[in-house]
C-alpha cells in the first residue's frame, strides 16, 4: 500500500547534515560511522530516497527550514543572524529540490491535477520507477521577509507554512513559548496566507498562537507532525480540544515517530528506545486517539518527522528505516480498522485533503 508522509526535512538533511540522500540509508550510516561523526543522530539516520521507495512512500510534504539564531536556541537548526540570510538559505534548499526534479528523482506537486495523476501512476507502477512526489512546506517562517512576501513564496511553489518552530519566530511563538501569542506582524502574516491560498500548518504553535491563528485565518489548515497531549503530556502535543478544532476545520493530523512524543517520561539525550519499550504499536495509539475524538478515521494520517535532528536513538525500537511504514497497515488491522480506513490513514486522507483544498482554489 502506498504511503504519504506529511513531514520530512529532506533538504535540511542533505545540505546541513551533508547527507547524500540518493544513497541507501545503510550506506549513509556506514559513511558517517567511518567519519566518527559525533553529532546526535549521526550514523543512525532513517531516510533516503531508495528507502522511501522501499516503503512505497509516494508523496511527502518536505520542508524549507532556515531559522534565526535565538539565545539558548538549538544551534544545529537556529543559526542565521538575519532574516535575509534565512531567506537566502531557504532558496538554496529550494535549489536542491529543483535539481532532483530535473533528474527525475522528485516530482514537485503544486496543484490537484498533478497530485491526482501522480497517485494514480504510483498505484499502477509495480516497478517503483515513478518519481517521489513532494509538496513544499516551510517550518518556521523566518525566511519570509514580510507579510507582503507570502504571495512571492507561493509563486515559487511553496504551498504550506508553519509560522513557528521552537522559540520565537518573526510572526508567531513556538510551542515552548508558553502563554505567548502572535507577534505584532502575526495577524497580517496570517491574512496574507489566507489571501493567496497558503495552507496553515499549526504544528509547533504555542497554545495561545494556535487559538489566535484559528480566529484570524479562515483558510485550510493541517497539523503535519503532531501527537496527543492526553497520551504524552507536553506542550509540544495537541490537546483533545485542539484536535477537535482541527477536525471541525476539516484538517488532517499526521502522527509523528519522534519517540519522546510517542511515550511519556522520555528524557531527550538520555532515554533510549529499549528502555521504554517504544514500538510502532505506540504510533497506532496516537492515530486511534484522533479517530476516537473525530468519530471517524478521516482525520488521522502519517507525518513521521524522521531524521528531524535525531536518528534511531529516538525512534521506535522496531523501526530501522522509513521503509518500515509498511508495518502500519497490519498494526491497524490488529486494532480492527477496516481496509478503507487503513488506506485513508496511509495516504488517502492527505490526498482527499489536498483535493478539497486545491479544487476550491481552482
Q: Supply the pTM of this predicted model.
A: 0.97
**Cα radius of gyration (the chain):** 19
pLDDT of residue 73: 67
pLDDT digits (tens, 9 = 90+) for 283-311: 999 999 999 999 999 999 999 999 999 99
Nearest to 307 by CA among 4, 27, 100, 16: 16
What is the enclosing helix (H) or strand (E) of 338? none
Q: Which residues contact 44 (CB under 8 A, 6 or more apart)?
A: 29, 311, 312, 313
pLDDT of residue 125: 84
Helical spans, DSSP H, in the chain = 10-15, 25-34, 49-54, 83-102, 112-124, 150-156, 186-196, 207-216, 240-248, 273-276, 280-294, 328-334, 339-343, 349-361
pLDDT of residue 162: 98
- The rounded distance, in Å, linking the Cα atoms of 188 and 192 is 6
CATH of the domain at 355: 3.20.20.140
Task: Enumerate residue ranges in the chain where pLDDT < 50.
Answer: none
Nearest to 4 by CA among 219, 255, 247: 255
Quick one: what percent of the chain has pLDDT higher than 90?
93
Q: How many domains does the chain have?
A: 1
pLDDT of residue 360: 78
pLDDT of residue 225: 98
Q: Which range marks the domain in which residue 152 is found?
A: 3-361
Phi then psi for 141, rounded to 5 degrees?
Answer: -90, 25
Q: Using an 8 Å Cβ cutoff, are 304 and 256 in contact?
A: yes
Amino acid at each position: 500500500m502506498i504511503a504519504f508522509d506529511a513531514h520530512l526535512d529532506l533538504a535540511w538533511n542533505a545540505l546541513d547534515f551533508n547527507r547524500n540522500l540518493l544513497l541507501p540509508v545503510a550506506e549513509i550510516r556506514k559513511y558517517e560511522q567511518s567519519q566518527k561523526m559525533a553529532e546526535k543522530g549521526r550514523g543512525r539516520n532513517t531516510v533516503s530516497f531508495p528507502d522511501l521507495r522501499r516503503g512505497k512512500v509516494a508523496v511527502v510534504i518536505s520542508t524549507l527550514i532556515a531559522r534565526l539564531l535565538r539565545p539558548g536556541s538549538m544551534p544545529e537548526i537556529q543559526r542565521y543572524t538575519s532574516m535575509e540570510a534565512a531567506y537566502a538559505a531557504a532558496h538554496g534548499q529550494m535549489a536542491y529540490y529543483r535539481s532532483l526534479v530535473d533528474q527525475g528523482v522528485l516530482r514537485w506537486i503544486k496543484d490537484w491535477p498533478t497530485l491526482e495523476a501522480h497517485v494514480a501512476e504510483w498505484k499502477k507502477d509495480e516497478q517503483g520507477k515513478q518519481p517521489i512526489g513532494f509538496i513544499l512546506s516551510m517550518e518556521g517562517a523566518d525566511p519570509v521577509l514580510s507579510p507582503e512576501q507570502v504571495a512571492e513564496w507561493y509563486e515559487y511553489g511553496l504551498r504550506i507554512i508553519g509560522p513557528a518552530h521552537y522559540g520565537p519566530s518573526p510572526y508567531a511563538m513556538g510551542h515552548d513559548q508558553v502563554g505567548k501569542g502572535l507577534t505584532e506582524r502575526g495577524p497580517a502574516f496570517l491574512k496574507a496566507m489566507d489571501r493567496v491560498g497558503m495552507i496553515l500548518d499549526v504544528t509547533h504553535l504555542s497554545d495561545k498562537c494556535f487559538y489566535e491563528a484559528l480566529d484570524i485565518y479562515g483558510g485550510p489548515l493541517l497539523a503535519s507532525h503532531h501527537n496527543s497531549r492526553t497520551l504524552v503530556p507536553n506542550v509540544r502535543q495537541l490537546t483533545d480540544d485542539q484536535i477537535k478544532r482541527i477536525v471541525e476545520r476539516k484538517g488532517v493530523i499526521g502522527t509523528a515517530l519522534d519517540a519522546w512524543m510517542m511515550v511519556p517520561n522520555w528524557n531527550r539525550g538520555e532515554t533510549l528506545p529499549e528502555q521504554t519499550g517504544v514500538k510502532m504499536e505506540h504510533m497506532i495509539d496516537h492515530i486511534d486517539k484522533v479517530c476516537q475524538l473525530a468519530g471517524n478515521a478521516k482525520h488521522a494520517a502519517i507525518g513521521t518527522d524522521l531524521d528531524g535532528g535525531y536518528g534511531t536513538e529516538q525512534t521506535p525500537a522496531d523501526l530501522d528505516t522509513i521503509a518500515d511504514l509498511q508495518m502500519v497497515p497490519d498494526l491497524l488491522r490488529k486494532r480492527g480498522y477496516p481496509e478503507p480506513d487503513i488506506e485513508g490513514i496511509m495516504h488517502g486522507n492527505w490526498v482527499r485533503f489536498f483535493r478539497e483544498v486545491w479544487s476550491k482554489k481552482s
